Amino acid sequence: MARLNINGTIHEIDAEAETPLLWVIREQAGLTGTKFGCGIAACGACTVHIDGVATRSCSVTLADVTEAEKIVTIEAISPDRSHAIQKAWLELDVPQCGYCQSGQIMAAVALLDSNPNPTDEEIDAEMSNICRCGTYNRIRAGIKRAAELL
Amino acid sequence: MTKHFTLSRRVFLTSSLAATGALALGFRVPANAEEAAGATSDVKELNAWVVVNPDDTVLVRISRCEMGQGTLTGLAQLIAEELEADWDKVTWEYPSPGQSIRRERVWGNFGTYGSQGIRNSQQYVREGGAAARMMLMQAAANRWGVDVSAVKAAKNVVTGPDGATLTYGDLALEAAQLEVPTEIKLKDPADWTLAGKSLKRLDTEAKLDGSQIYAVDVKLPGMVSAAIRQAPVIGATVASFDADAVMGMPGVKKVVQLDDYAVAVVADTFWRAKTALEALPIEWDEGENATLGMADIHASLDEGLGADQAFIGTQRGDVKKAVAEAAKVVEADYYFPWQHHATMEPMNATALVSADSAEIWVATQDPEGVLAITAEAADLDILKCEVHRLHLGGGFGRRASSHEYARQAVLLAKEMPGTPVKLIWTREEDMIHGTFHPITKARFVGALDADGNVTGMHMRISGQSIRAGLMPHAMDEKGDPMVFQGLNEKSTEGEFGYTIPNLLIDHALRQPPLRPGYWRGVNNNQNAFYLESFIDEMAHAAGKDPYQFRRGLLKDHPLHLRVLDAVAEGIGWDKPAPEGVFRGICQHHGYGSYVAAAAEVSVDERGSLKIHRIVASTDCGHVVNPQQVEAQIEGSFAFGLSAALHGEITVEDGRVQQQNFDTYPPMRMDEFPKVESLLRPTGGFWGGVGEPTIFVAAPAVTNAIFAATGKRVRQLPLSNHDLSA
């Protein structure tokens, strides 16, 4: 049985080695904040952090990840919605349907972790997740607002 | 059933009457179906909207569905406004279709489509809030022994003539015993303090930390999961499949054929179900569409462009005569391809069926429709069924009709009584088995006199009708009037704004078999693209400025003109654009709202398009939440421009060719322009905002591309065009 470190807790995982990390997180660990969107790493709804790197979990298998790697999901970027990105998202009413927002937030958190004051071009380059509701300009404004709050 | 129902509501709704001991003014929630069946006589409809809890919180009920468009918050604002509620104490819940049917549909239509969530609810929800407020005031007046005219209500507090105060919570019990008022006077919108304001959405927090439960996230005790394969060729059926080949795979519980067109695998987890499904040998009878391709489809639509027979939408004067006498004749053909909704949350549903009950957990724009589907699929009385509503991870019309995923989940659950079954479509199943924006073409003939005035125009639409696809029994000699959305004469819903003395707009029904459906904006999308492009073509042929040309033609339609003027001013039409930047402009009227847009684009020598800036204006009559209307305007450009730039569903060998976001790519952040929203409400009417701006997204950009390159984009999407010099 595989063991994974998800949000600081070691989970015993009963799944085949080729099972995507996304479905391990959703169905074995029971954390449904990480969303299924496309299954081909095209949309980013399933974005999580693996050792701080934004990763599309639908295209990483259980076999690809070790217990030593720290997986962080949307549920654990702050205990109380107090991360600057979450505060900015609330302040600007960023989400519409919200389904893509877990992935957007995980991508945005990783961006600010590596680049605390990104330009528009840097935001364009790093934020490639799809939002069908069209919240892109509020996401951009939210990242800039979060940069001020950090 | 009652037991499951109560449990699930505790899990998913923000509040529970039983748990809080709250009193609903004028009605109570029935404990079970038997009680409910006899309890309808004392239902007081107006107050079904408002519950005041003894702790002074206010629960408002929202019958329409929230899919991102902000209707939930807007309706709460309207109720709270008339209730004189303290906004910080307002909570909400969805009533269920089962409750509604037991109470003679006290919450009206749950359907959330046609940009109607606010405009077709506003009257009765405001009356519900006002009636509740009047009862609370009367209860306070009774307590103090004064006439109700001597008390005032504001922010959950009633104040008496001597300055004494009582909170709504203090008064809830007494108010609930009073007669529901029948004469209700609503506030003048000029006096609004909550409605009309840019309040924050009520549903944001849970979307920031993964705690928002969508249908695909539902967990129930003992639940199993299913994956499905539906016929890959349009209209094909299952010939055979070999269940034994996969029954030994990990977690697999069952292999089930559904109707004649699908096979599903049920397993302990979705991933195991999907893995087994991919290993399952299935043979199909491909049927009559096995060789269907775009060549056949284009030929059919092209034939319709010139056909003698067509359904007439608008006819005035004599177009043939006007064309024969014209100084100049302008002609052009256009094409708007099939589009896909591609909601971020793929279709899914979870069902639980037993011998005498059926429940479904689902994201839908039509909860009552799903209730009927559930009852039919479970073969149970509708009073034994219930629909549990979750926020939608995108709707855009896909979840407004054709809920076969709901039916499939119920059929699967029926095979496993007492076990909840969650069915999830993969993105590929979702993409192939959509309800596609109808495919159409249009042919225009325009007549100009020697001064460049438009004397006549024939617009022929050829292609699909949604009604013919979804409700063929409703087609008659008039065809499908919805095909002419935004092109009607004398319509508060969508009026053709240009004054053209000789005009004919007609539709040749050509119905290739790929299923059409309601796609956000519906037929306004292609109609606005066609018409606003051709108006531009006629302006060019007449040697006139496209804005001024429209101004002249809109002289009899001041509200159409007003938003056009607003975007012209906003973009600075009378001033030169920046070096290398070119502008396009357009307008349309649909779902009761007047919309216009102007775009600034540049096209480099390699043909690469950049959309720098969009200015958009909307007159929706009354605005309930300005920042949410702005969010809808912005979002509309992502939806409309995704289609215009990249969107095209095609069919070859009877199969949809696009299966995921790699071949049906929506717009991403790096392509998305700056959007400036100009709200220009004139009051006096209620228009929708969830869809209208989509109409003007494509033509604003394609008209700007013409200004930049001289190339007229007559066939979408833009990705099929070479814009290089």
What confidence score (pLDDT) does residue B331 get?
98
Half-sphere exposure of A143 (CA within 13 A, CB side): 30
Chain B nearest-CA distance from A148, in A, is 19
B631 with A36: Cβ contact below 8 A = no
From the list B68, B208, B426, which residue is nearest A81 (CB)? B208
Amino acid found at B698: A
In this prediction, residue B47 carries a pLDDT of 78
Residues of A in contact with B272 (CB under 8 A): 16
Query: Confidence band (pLDDT; 50, 70, 90) for B725?
Result: confident
Q: Is the pLDDT of residue B32 over 80?
A: no
Phi, psi of A101 (to 5 degrees): -70, -30
Query: Which residue does chain B place closest to A96, by CA atoms?
Result: B68
Work out whether strand B357-362 and strand B348-354 pair parallel, antiparallel, or are unpaired: antiparallel
Comparing B174-178, B199-203, B205-209, B577-581, which segment has the lowest mean pLDDT?
B174-178
Higher pLDDT, B46 or A3: A3
Whether B240 has a pLDDT exceeding 60, the answer reads: yes
- Look at residue A134 and tell me whether its pLDDT is greater than 60: yes
**8 Å CB contact of B660 and A95:** no
Size of interface A-B (CB pairs under 8 A): 177
Minimal Cβ distance to B661: which of A38, A123, A133:
A38
| Boundary-marking domain end, from A76, A106, A133 | A76
User: Least CA distance to A135: which residue of chain B?
Assistant: B635
Tokens standing for B95?
A: 């009533």
Are residues A123 and A60 both part of a single domain? no
- In this structure, how many other beta carbons lie within 10 angstroms of the beta carbon of residue B201? 24
Q: How far is CA A27 from CA A22, A98, B655, in A?
A: 8, 21, 32
Nearest by CB to A124, from B342, B639, B670: name it: B670
- pLDDT at residue B557 is higher than 70: yes
Confidence check: pLDDT of B44 > 50 = no
The per-residue pLDDT for A70 is 98
Residues A23 and A66 in one domain: yes
| pLDDT beyond 80 at B39 | no
CA distance B90 to B336: 44
Chain B closest CA to A35's CA: distance in Å? Answer: 8
The shortest CB-CB distance from B68 to any of A40, A73, A98 is to A98
**Positive or negative: CA dihedral B159, B160, B166, B172:** negative
B424, B270 Cβ separation under 8 angstroms: yes
Cross-chain CB nearest to A33 (options B203, B210, B666)? B210
Q: What is the average pLDDT value for chain B, to the nearest integer? A: 93
Element (H, E) at B669: none
Asked if residue A31 and residue A57 are part of one domain, the reply reads yes
Reported ipTM: the value is 0.99
Residues 348-407 of B with CB under 8 A from A: 391-396
Q: In terms of residue numbers, what domain contains A71? A: 2-76
The one-character DSSP state at B495 is B
More confident call, B7 vs B379:
B379
Q: Please give the pLDDT value at position B53.
A: 87
- A95–B275: do the CB atoms touch at under 8 Å? no
pLDDT tier for residue B173 given thresholds of 50, 70 and 90 = confident
Compute CA B342 distance to the chain's CA centroid, rounded to the nearest angstrom: 13
Residues A13 and A37 in one domain: yes
Give pLDDT, residue B450. 98
Beta strands in chain A (DSSP E): 2-6, 9-13, 47-50, 53-56, 70-72
- Residues A71 and A88 both lie in one domain: no
> Residues A68, A88: one domain?
no
Residue whose pair of structure tokens reads 């909840």 in the numeric block: B420
Q: Are residues A9 and A72 in the same domain?
A: yes
Test mutation, B77, B207, B277, chain A, max A CBs within 10 A: B207
Asked if B669 and A15 come within 8 Å (Cβ–Cβ), the reply is: no
pLDDT band at B695 (very low <50, low <70, confident <90, very high): very high
Task: Judge: B67–A97 Cβ closer than 8 Å, yes or no.
Answer: yes
Q: How far apart are CA A5 and CA A3, in angstroms?
A: 7
pLDDT tens for each residue of B635-646: 999 999 999 999
Task: Report yes or no: B704 and B582 within 8 Å, Cβ to Cβ.
Answer: yes
For residue A1, list chain B residues with Cβ-Cβ distance below 8 A: none
pLDDT at position B395 over 70 = yes
Residue B25 has pLDDT above 70, yes or no: no
Neighbours of B198 (CB within 10 A): 12
Q: Do residues B4 and B359 lie in contact, with contact meaning Cβ atoms separated by under 8 Å? A: yes
Q: Percentage of chain B with pLDDT > 90?
A: 90
Q: What is the pLDDT of residue B9?
A: 26
**Top-confidence residue, B21 or B550:** B550
Express each pLDDT in B515-524 by its tens digit. Answer: 999 999 999 9
- Supply the DSSP string of A14-53, one letter for each residue: -S-TTSBHHHIIIIIS--TTSPPS-SSSSS-TTEEEETTE
**CA–CA separation, B102 and A141 (whole Å):** 46
Distance CA B365, CA B437 (A): 17
What band does B54 get if pLDDT is binned at 50, 70 and 90?
A: confident
**3-state SS of B246-259?**
CCCCCCEEEEEEEC
Which tens digits make up the pLDDT trace of B207-222?
A: 999 999 999 999 999 9
B589 pairs with which residues across the strands? B594
Question: Could you write out the three-class secondary structure of B401-466?
Answer: CCCHHHHHHHHHHHHCCCCCEEEECCHHHHHHCCCEECCEEEEEEEEECCCCCEEEEEEEEEECCH
Same domain for A65 and A11, yes or no, is yes
Asked if B664 reaches chain A (Cβ–Cβ under 8 Å), the answer is no
pLDDT at B11 over 80: no
Least CA distance to B392: which residue of chain A?
A97
pLDDT band for position B43 (50/70/90)?
A: very low
Instruction: Examine the pLDDT at B33 and tell me if it is beyond 70.
Output: no
Q: Would you give the DSSP letter of residue B46?
A: G
In this predicted model, what pLDDT tens digit does every residue of A57-73 receive, in sequence order? Answer: 999 999 999 999 999 99
Nearest-Cα residue of chain A relative to residue B207: A98
Same domain? A91 vs A65? no
Residue B46 to residue B218: CA distance in whole angstroms: 32
Q: Which residues of B touch A19 (CB under 8 A)?
A: 271
**Residue B35 pLDDT > 50:** no
Residues A112 and A65 in one domain: no
Instruction: Report CA-CA distances (Å) from B206 to A98, B57, B198, B201, B426.
Output: 9, 20, 20, 11, 25
Chain A touched by B546 (CB under 8 Å): no
Any chain A CB within 8 A of the CB of B219? yes
Q: How is residue A94 written in tokens?
A: 């960023």
B271: tokens are: 């991933």
Residues A72 and A101 in one domain: no
Give A111→chain B minimum CA distance, Å.
14
Instruction: Kindly tell me if the per-residue pLDDT of B611 is higher than 90.
Output: yes
pLDDT at B15: 26
Round to whole Å and give the CA distance between B266 and B255.
6
B16 against B355, higher pLDDT: B355
How many Å lie between the alpha carbon of A15 and the closest alpha carbon of chain B? 9
Beta-carbon separation of A98 and B270 below 8 A: no
Q: How many domains does chain A have?
A: 2
Domain end point (choices A76, A109, A138) = A76
> Rounded distance, CA B69 to CA B117, Å?
9
CB atoms within 10 A of CB A75: 19
The CATH number assigned to the domain holding A125 equals 1.10.150.120
At residue B41, the pLDDT reads 28
pLDDT at position B398 is: 98
| Separation CA B236–CA B651 (nearest Å) | 14
Domain boundary among A76, A94, A123: A76
Q: Mean pLDDT lowest for which of A3-17, B10-24, B132-146, B445-459? A: B10-24
Q: Beta strands of B337-403 (E only): which ranges?
A: 348-354, 357-362, 385-389
CATH of the domain at A41: 3.10.20.30
Distances (CA, A) of A118 to A87, A95, A124, A139, A144: 18, 21, 10, 13, 8
Reading the block at residue B360, the tokens are: 């479904």
Interchain contact, B344 vs A32, CB within 8 Å: no
Q: Is B271 at the interface with chain A, CB within 8 A?
A: yes
pLDDT at B13: 26
Residue B16: pLDDT over 70: no
Work out the average pLDDT over B621-644.
98
**Cα distance between residue B343 and residue B394, in whole Å:** 5
Residues A68 and A93 in one domain: no
Q: Is the pLDDT of residue A50 over 70?
A: yes
Chain B 558-617, residues with CB within 8 Å of chain A CB atoms: none
Enumerate residues 671 to 700 of chain B having a beta carbon within 8 A of any beta carbon in chain A: 672, 674-675
